[in-house]
Each structure stands twice: as C-alpha cells, then as structure tokens.
Structure 1
Amino acid sequence: MLINSPEYQARYGKWDVVELPADLKVNAIHAALLPTGKLLIVAGSGNDQQSFDAGTFRTLLYDPGTGQSRLIPTPADLFCGGHAFLPDGKLLVAGGTQRYEILDGAVTRAAGAMVVKNEFPDAGRDFPEGTEFVAQDGRKYRATNAFSLPPATKTTPRKGPVTVTASQTTVWVESEDTGRAGVTTTPAQYAITGLTGADANNLYGLAQKMTLDKQDFQGIADSYEFDPVSERYVKVGDMAYKRWYPTLTGLPNGEVLAVSGLDGTGQILAGQNEVYDPATKSWTERPDLFRYFPTYPALFQTGTPGTLFYSGSNAGYGPADAGRTPGLWNLEHNTFTPVPGIRDADRLETSGSAWAGPVQNQKMIVVGGGGVGESPLSTARIDVIDLKQQDPRFTAGPDLPLPTRYPNVVQLPDDSLLITGGSRDYRGKGTSDNLVATFYHPDTNTLTAAADPTVGRDYHSEALLLPNGQVVTMGGNPLFADKDNQKPAPFEKRLEIYTPPYLLHGPQPVIADAPAEAKPGGSMTVSSPDAATIASARLIRPSAVTHATDVEQRSVALDITRNPDGSLGLALPGEPTLVPPGYYMLFLVNEAGTPSVARWVHVT
C-alpha cells in the first residue's frame, strides 16, 4: 500500500495503533506527560454512570518507551477535574465529579440547593451524607453529600454591640418522597433533624425551591498532587469551591489559578476564582480576581507579567452570550480587554488553542470549534493573533480541510504544530469523525498534509508530544456508532502513535550530556557529537490536556553559542512569564529539521 511505502512516510509520517491489555484499558479523559517520560491517563469514573455508582475510579500509568502500564489507586472521582504542573514536577489535579447529571424526564425526586447556616460563633459542625432537613409543612429532604460548617464570625467593636455573622455552605438535597410530593416553589427555612436546644436554633437550612428539573453534573473540592517519583496521589488542601470542568493555569511564581467550573449544585460559578500555593499546599479564594468564564476556558500566561490571554476556546457550560469573547485579563487590576477579529465568533466552543512557534513570538492560533451546546455548527477556521502588537487582533490563517470540533493541537520541536482528529458534528454525531491530520507552519501561516490517522478522536480525546519526538493520541467518546444516530458508541480505548516525517529523514541527533537544572536568564552547556549540524534548540513544557484544552504546552527557543571545545551554550530567556518554573524537554534540532530524543531539564 502507498501509505506503507518509505517514500510516502518520509513525506507524511506514519501512524501505529497500540492495543493495551483488556484489564488495563481505561477511558482517557485526561492525560499528562510526567517528567519521568510516563503518561498519566486519568479516567476517574470515565463518563460511565455505573462506574461512578460503584465507586470505581481509574488512573493508568503508561510508559510509551517500554509499553508497560499499571493502574494507580485513584482516591476520588477526578473525572472532568482540572490539572497543572507544579515547579517540582508534580501534577496538581483539582475538582471532579460529585454527582452525574439526570436529564429532563428522568428526575424522580425533587431536589435543589440548600444554604445551611451556623449562627454559633464558638464551634463549627460536621454533618454526614444523608443529613435530614424538615420544612414546617413536614416535607423532608436529605443531603446527598457530607458537609461542614465553620463557626460563625464574632465581631467585638470598641463601641457598639457585638455582631455575629453566620457561616454558611451550600449543599444539594433531594426529597425523601418520589414524584411531585417533594416539589415546592415557596422559599422556606428547614430544621435539621437530630438537633435540639440552642443547636436547633443556630443551625438551619434555607432553600428557594425544590423541583423535578434537569440536574447537571456537580463538582467536588478535592485536590491532589500526583508524585511522579512515588507514582501516587497525595491529598492536599481542598479548594474553596467545588469545581467540575475547571481550568488550572500555572503562574510565573509557581502558584496555580483555578477558574470556572460547575459547583456542588450543578451551577456554573459566577466568577469565584482561587489560587493554589504549592509551598503551603492550600488554596486561597481571590475575590479581587472575581471574573466569569465558561467552563474549561483556555487561559494562557503571556509574556507580560500579570496578564493572561483568554483565547475564547472553552468546553461548554455557560450561556452563549456571556464570557465567550477573547481578550487579555490583567490580574493586577482585574480588568479585561477584548481582542477583535476572530472569525466564526459563535463557534469557539470545543475549539483548540496553542502557541504558534516559540513562546517568545507571542503568537497563538485558535483552531476549529463549534456552536454552543449540541449545536451542529462547526468551523474550519484557524485564526492567528500576535500578542506583541500594541492593539492585538486576530487575522485569518489557513482553513482546515474539514470543519472540526475537538481538534488536538500539538507543538513539535521543529516549530510546526500537528492538528489531528476531531469531528464535524457534536460528539461525532452522524459518524462525523475526521480521519485527517495536518501541519500548521507558523513561519509561513500555511498548512501541509500529514498522514491520516486511522482511529477517530472526538469528545474526551487527547494528544501529547513524547520525548522521542513522536505524538500519542488517545480517547474518543462519540455519542453514536452509526450515521442514523441510533446505535450507542463505545469509548475508544486504543492508543495511536504518530511518527512525524522529521523522524524518517535519517538518524536523530544525540544529546551526549546536559545539565539537569537551569534557571531563567541562565545558560546550559550541552555536548553532542552532532553539534556542528544543530540548527536550533527548544525547551518544550510537557502537556496536561483534557477536552481540547492544553494550557501547559509551550515551546521556548534557546539562543545557541558554539563553544571552542565543540559544546553548545544554550541561553534561556530571563522572564519567568516565558519559562515558568517546572520540568521541560530539551530538544536539539538539526539542519534537516530532525529533533533529538529529549533530555529533561528542571527550570528552577
């Protein structure tokens, strides 16, 4: 066959399917490349209600170098949480699933949000799952999860009376009765069963209504650090807010900003954002950064201190007329400056975004996308923005071969980007998966063809650059398996590895020796028997990707000095906004565009 010929592969590359053992196949919802070279593939409950109900949560650790893999104990349902790498190489994973959605017509017990208050300033109280709330008319509701109430806040001024401000938390409750018996649209106060005396007066619930309406997914506040050395999850402080579909964006000082998500009642957060400090392993709510975004917003640290770029890419929940406009978010003043020019602005949901070329260029592309929700609309648009401009605006790039939702966009060591997979319709409906891949070239703003993948990838799929220069794709969660949308589709559990043509043009250059650590503004001395033919050097931050959202990956160009002894001096940019602390893959790329196998470098 033509695609198996050396001539074809040298021009377009090749794909190889990897079948994992049956007992090690997981639903790849999240994937991250650890600084050990292994892939952390997180399923949690894997978008499977039965697994959720059974408490079966899964994580696979896969070594693409050896093909070996094993399951990792998973402490909570991390399905649809967020993740970001920390300066020490650990992966912070926060949020996930408290409860699955129940669609219209399938809700059997009236339910709603209950605000529980504590007016007692001297003690807090923990309550178990199943805590009962009783209305004055006798209606009874139970909390679907455990919850805690801190003490009320007591203020003693120099003059005037002492004031007590009740603490509060919001929990989801559902009726003990089925059907309409539990429905109420009357705001009411609820007593907590089992409390007597002063406790019964100080602790109580308030709810506006209880309905049989559709119930959305609900988030959790749990957060963990995955240690790539011990290969286990380590519990750290809970977030201030429960989150499902949040984005975690690393900041230049090593902290992590958590944004958006559905809360513990299935409502999208109105703008309550918070920051994780890896030194204290705790979260701090940041009311000074109150800003609304749809779920999984693509937020990138720019080269300007204190400024994030929101590309407009997102993965769903939220109204069509709020938070969809791309722009620059100034964290110092909490101001947002929209940027104009994006084509098909109503089709940014399920689009992909990535830096185009080295991050020093501050150019980004937005790729594909579709209409809000289950819209059949999609776009082939690639638009480019140069954030170095005084008044940046999007300009047109080349169009993809097909309209594409859920594209995977991967930065490569030769500065091109691989764009692969996706589907033309929502979640691959009508057998609309795109079995096509292309290369985007930032220097010419053009596309060229790559070999076509053989496995469809749509919703819940990922693609990552590997240390040897290959790309691995995984996941895929179409709604239906047939064109008429009648037959349910299984989750795609096969992996597929792409070998770009740059690995088929001769041997890879070799890094004989390189330092394990470097600093922004510093330099590294690297030895290679191929030093004379090295044309460029790149530090590439490993990916942590889900739902077509990967705010981790970035390629950093290193200035090259050729030393008298034949070694190479590689200079890092001095701005931590360009090279945030953490682990990076160091690639040397020769004059033919062929990259070395990467060496891991810890930027401290």
Structure 2
Amino acid sequence: MYQLTNLRKNLWATILGASLVAPPIGATPSINSDNDACSSAAAEARLKQRETALLGPSHAEAHAKARAYKCRVAKGLETVATPDAQVLAAARAQPGNSTGQWSAPFVIPVVGITSVLLNNGKVLFWSYEPTQYLNPNASNTGVAYIWDPVTRTGHSITPPENIWCGGQTILSDGRVYVAGGNLRYPDPNAAPGQDGFQGSLSNYTFNPVTETWTAQPNMATGRWYPTVTQLADNSAVVTSGFDQTGAGDITTVVELFTPAASMDGVGSISTISFHDPAGLYPYQQLILSGQMLQAGPGSTNTALLTPGTWSWSNIPNMLSSHYGLGNGILYTDASVTPIGQVFMIAGGAEGSTVIANNEWFDVANPDAGWRQYPQWLQARHNANTVILPDGTLFTVGGNSLTSSYDAPLFESERYNKPANDPTGSWVQMSPNTIQAAYHSSAILLPDATVLLSQDDNDPSAASTHQAQIYSPPYLFYGTRPNITNVPSTLSLGQTFSVTTSTSNIASVALVAPGAVTHGNDMHQRFIKLQYKKNGPKGLRVTLPKSSSLVPPGYYMLFIVDSLGVPSVATFVHIS
C-alpha cells in the first residue's frame, strides 16, 4: 500500500520566476506591485514567454487571456462572468417544473477535475496540488477529497501521487481503478523535445471501505489523458495518453489490467495490442457483442477491439471529429426484444471551431453508420453530459471558444426524450451560476440530482472551490415513488422482486455510478430493464443474461412512475 505525505510548499517561483509567486490559496492577488503580472506589462511578458515554452503558444495565450480578464475584474473594470441577465430572466419567468432548479453554490475545497461516485453514495474527487501546479520539481503532489451529498460534508484524503489527468473506472467489487496521471509537469530545463508533460506509468486501486490506495504493477508506458474501460470479465482496457518521454507522443500501446480477487490485492498488467487512438481521452464503451467500441476524438478512429484475440476491426467513420473534450453516452434498452443499444457522441471541437455536431451509432445495426443526432442549442466543448434515471440527457457547462475558459456557457440543456430516440430535441434548462468550463465535472447522484463542480480558472482559489446541485424538472412533477424492498445482491439473468410505494410505475433502470474527468465518463452506463406488475405495489424485474450488457459491479436501481418522477436509487450488486 502506497501513501504519500502531502508537501504543501509554495514553489511556484521555481517555474514562473521568483517575482511571480502565486498567492496563498484563497488570498486576493495584489494588483499594486510592480512585480505583479496584473500591473506590470514586463512581468506579464516574462510570464507569457515562460508559459509558451512550457505549454505551447495556444495554451499560453489562453492563460494570458484568463489573467487579463481577472486583472480587469480586480481593478473594477469588468464584472465576474455570470449567466446572461436575459437567460436568468427567462428562467425566472418559467415555472420550476419545466426548467429545473439549481442549489446555491457551496464549497468543496478540492477542484473536482475527477469525480467518482462510490457505492456508498459518496463522491471521490481528486486534483493536482494547487500550490505546486506546473512546478516540475513537485510534479507528483496531488489532493483528494471524499464528499457526502447527504450531509454535504467531507474530508481530505491523501492520493498516492498526482493521479490528475489519469483514467479511471470502477471494478466489480466497488474498487476504483486509476491508470496513469502526471509524472512530470513541463520542464524548460529538460532536453529539447523532452520538456513537455510526462505521463505516469503508475496504476492504483482505491478501496472505498477503508479509503486506502494499493499500488498495482506499472504499465509498459506512461499515460497522461488515457481512457480506461471495464470489460465483461472485470478486466480493464487502457488506451491512449501522452507517454513518459515528455515529447508529446500519444502512445499506441494497449494494455489490460486484471485485478486481484481481494480488495487490497495486487493484480497484473499486460500489453495486449497496439492501436492509434487519434487523440487523447478517446470515447470507449463495452457493447452488447462483448467487444469494446472506440470512437474519436478523430473522425476516422472508429473501431472495435475483440477480447481474447485483441484484434481491431473498423466500423464506419464518424460524421465529424470531436476533439477538445466532447461527451460520449451509451444507452441500452433491455426492456425490448431484440435488445437495443446506441452510442451517442456530442460536442467538442473540429479544427478551430467548437461544434454542436452530435451523432449516434446503432450498435445493433453497424452498417447504418453514424447518423446525425439532434443538435445542442449551443455549440460547446469542455461540457459534461449526464444520463438521467428516465433515460434523458442533461448537458451542462463548457465554453463556446476553443480556449479553455473563455466564453463560458451557463445555459444548461436537457434532451426531452430517452437517449435512444433520435426524434427528440434539446430544451434550455435553468442556468447554473458557477463557471464550469475546462476541468469541471458533473455526475449523477443517487437522489437523481446532478452534482456540478466548478472549473479551475483560478487554481489559487482551490480552497474556496464551489459546486452546485441541479434538481431536474422531474423532481417537481409530484410525490416521489420509493423502493421499499429489493435484494441487495443479484445475478445476471435473474428475475427478482421489487416492492414500491405506488402501483404507477412506468420504467425500471440500472445506472452505473459515474467516473468522469474532462467530460469523459468512463463508467457511465444506462440499462432499461424488463419488468411485470406483481400485485398492487410489486414488480418482477428481469436482468439481462449477458455480462457484456451488464458488466459485474454496483449499480443504482431507479424506478420511475407514470408522471416521470424517479425514486431515490438503491445500490444493488450484480455478480
């Protein structure tokens, strides 16, 4: 078991120059010092030059724009970005049951760059250590936090290293598996061609019961921005990511993590294949055939990986690329015969244009190729799309320019039909009030609300980092149904009894707990189930027989009544 003492030393000057030390967390930056980039053109020029060397010109320019904006705010020349007044007025003019409702912002003192819902209903967040951000001499320091949505309280835990920008999924026993992360920040003193981000070779599992980390065998290559996908047998495929060289090369090595049987055991990692993912954080899902579908971010990266042979086969290309962090959603309808399954990919950027070019793929009819899905009301990248208990989709945050934080969007949207029905449309919902562009995250909670974590436009303000909770319109339709009895452990193919508080049940669904970062939820899965009425307040519900449709693990079981109101979820374990 690996534990790391969190060294909170403010060494920002090492990377940005002694005159540009970041203020303490939560402090208000000074705008009066001649050495301050906010008031000194020379200091700003030195800072931009250094960041250009470290991050590249486009990323450095985005940072410079963000600093300029914050300087104008500090000097009273501009107000902090908030939802447009017309947006707020329109939301207030509509009844709450049509647009939903946001809570007041509250503090979660860790930037939720990664959010994972644990099977105890709590949320695990992790991020870089803000006082060491971009310091190559302290690249391996991170922070983590466990938050309880019921009490809205939490506590800090120590991550094993800087697992920020790794990939993550949830294993069948509830452990969180994390692959890669930040081995080293860009280092201007490194050899030319080796001075960029380095991906970590590390693997860890997290035990949600004891809240401890276990080091797993290293991967063959470093990974920064990889994707991790749980397969039907509970192994996990790891693809993509910048390697450990600092050269900015995306690895083509495909690896398989096989977990140990015990919660704190050490599993194995092996190279199984080679494949060019055409970019970072590709969208991946286990599909009904037992294969893993990988799509994007490049339009031509559309392929199936077959377990066992570990061979790749092509499927039709997408209609467009979805770089710049779009969203992917898998929806399975096991209530019908034959079982239906669709994969929807939304948003991102193509070239210098942010897009709303959403598209979908019918897994059962691959020859039909990718087809256009109803478009968002606004083009956006860096957004998050969450699948809700009724099968509809909720998209929140992001921004409308290709930079990381400029032109943030506050207008959230909801798709008004189940995700497998391409005849619906997106409808504007109530606007959030915290900014949620790059490095924000959104995740479904067991009470059918959505947790939104603010972005990190100001890394120095991490201790006052904010979040909001969104209550969708269905929570205003009437009294919620309740699940009063259900087995806690289930098996594939089993028909089981559910007792409810009402006879008016319209649907039953499993929703996998989310594991999201950079808009990519690597464990999001919705499965609509078959059921029959069994007495006035009873149901007989049947699970699919295939572990390709229902990978083993913990799921939230929701019932939805005839008015569209969902219950609070009950966690069930499917073996």
Q: 1:162 matched to which residue of 2?
A: none
Partner of 1:596, secondary structure, is: coil
1:4: Cα distance to partner? Answer: 7.6
Query: What SS class does the counterpart of residue 421 from structure 1 fall into?
Result: strand
User: Which residue of 541, 555, 562 maps to 1:584?
Assistant: 555
Instruction: Determine the structure 2 residue equivalent to 1:207.
Output: none
Query: Residues of 1 paired with 2:305 and 2:140: CA distance?
Result: 39
Change (3 A) 1:427 1:69: farther
**What's the secondary structure of 1:362's corresponding residue?**
strand
Contact persistence 1:541–1:552 (CA under 8 A): yes
Q: What displacement does 1:396 show?
A: 1.2
What residue is the counterpart of 2:242 in the other structure? 262
- Is the counterpart of residue 272 in structure 1 residue 359 in structure 2? no
Q: TM-score, normalised by structure 1?
A: 0.73
| Rounded Cα–Cα distance in structure 1 between residues aligned with 2:197 and 2:568 | 42
Q: Percent identity?
A: 28
Contact 1:29 1:42 in 2 (8 A): yes
- Tell me which of 456, 470, 476 is aligned to 2:455: 476
* Residue aligned with 1:229, SS: coil
Paired letter, 1:500:
P
Instruction: Compute the displacement of 1:471 (Å).
Output: 0.3
Partner-residue secondary structure (3-state), 1:257: strand
Partner of 2:442: 463
1:594 aligns to 2:573 (yes or no): no
Deviation of residue 416 (structure 1)?
0.2
Instruction: State yes or no: 1:225 paired with 2:205.
Output: yes
Matched residue, 1:31:
115
Q: Distance in 2 between matches of 1:43 and 1:236?
A: 20
Given the alignment of the two structures, is residue 546 of structure 1 paired with residue 488 of structure 2, yes or no? no
Distance 2:140 2:243 in 1: 20
Return the match for 2:544 from 573, 576, 586: 573
Q: Give me the whole-angstrom Cα distance separating, in 1, the residues matched to 2:189 and 2:170.
A: 41
The answer to whether the 8 A contact 1:45-1:79 is kept is no
Q: 2-side partners of 1:565 and 1:9: how far apart?
A: 32
* Amino acid aligned to 1:80: C
Letter of the 1:493 counterpart: H
1:496 is aligned to 468
The normalised TM-score by structure 2 is 0.77
Q: In the alignment, is residue 242 of structure 1 matched against residue 329 of structure 2?
A: no
* CA deviation map 1:52-103 (0-9, x unaligned): 728642101011111111001222111111111011011011211111014x
Q: Does 1:48 align with 2:33?
A: no
Q: Which residue of 2 aligns with 1:310?
A: 294
Q: Note closer, same or farther for the CA distance 1:351–1:73 as it changes in structure 2 (3 Å cut).
A: same
User: Which residue is equivalent to 1:446?
Assistant: 425
Which string of whole-angstrom CA distances, capped at 9 and with x for unpartnered residues, describes residues 509-542 of structure 1? 0111111111111122111121x11111011001
Task: Report deviation, 1:327.
Answer: 3.0
AA in 2 matched with 1:37: G
Q: Which residue of 2 aligns with 1:72?
A: 157
- C-alpha distance in structure 2 between counterparts of 1:311 and 1:273, whole Å: 15
Question: Counterpart in 1 of 2:363?
Answer: 387
CA distance in 1 between counterparts of 2:324 and 2:289 reads 26
Q: SS of 2:213's equivalent?
A: strand
**Secondary structure of the residue that 2:206 maps to in structure 1?**
strand
**Aligned AA (1:300):** Q
Residues 12-23 of structure 1: matches in 2 within 5 Å?
12-20=99-107
Ranges in structure 2 where 5+ consecutive residues have no aligned partner? 1-87
Cα RMSD, aligned residues only: 2.5
Q: 1:269 to 1:214 in 2, by over 3 A?
A: closer
Shift of 1:590: 0.1
Q: Is the 8 A contact 1:462 1:546 kept in 2?
A: yes
Match of 1:524 among 496, 511, 535: 496
Identify the residue that residue 48 of structure 2 maps to in structure 1: none
Matched residue, 1:377: 353
**Relative to structure 1, is the Cα distance of residues 4 and 298 closer, same or farther in structure 2, using a 3 angstrom cutoff?**
closer
Give the aligned residue type for 1:34: L
Cα separation, 2, equivalents of 1:489 and 1:66: 27
CA distance in 2: counterparts of 1:274 and 1:235, whole angstroms: 17
Rounded to whole Å, the distance in 2 between the matches of 1:386 and 1:265 is 39
Structure-1 separation of matches of 2:189 and 2:178: 33
Alignment check: 8 A CA contact 1:348 1:369 kept: yes
Which segment is superposed worse, 275-284 or 566-575?
275-284
Structure 1 or 2: more helix by fraction: 2
Q: Sort the Cα spacing of 1:396 and 1:565 in 2 relative to 1 into closer, same or farther, 3 A.
A: closer
Aligned position for 1:299: 284
Return the alpha-carbon distance in structure 2 between the equivalents of residues 587 and 6 of structure 1.
31
SS at match of 2:195: coil
SS of the residue corresponding to residue 258 of structure 1 reads strand
Query: What residue in structure 1 maps to residue 45 of structure 2?
Result: none
Structure 1 unaligned segments of length 5 or more: list them: 112-211, 314-319, 482-487
Q: Cα–Cα, structure 1 residues 213 and 54, in superposed 2: closer, same or farther, change >3 Å?
A: closer
Q: Is the 8 A contact 1:398 1:446 kept in 2?
A: yes
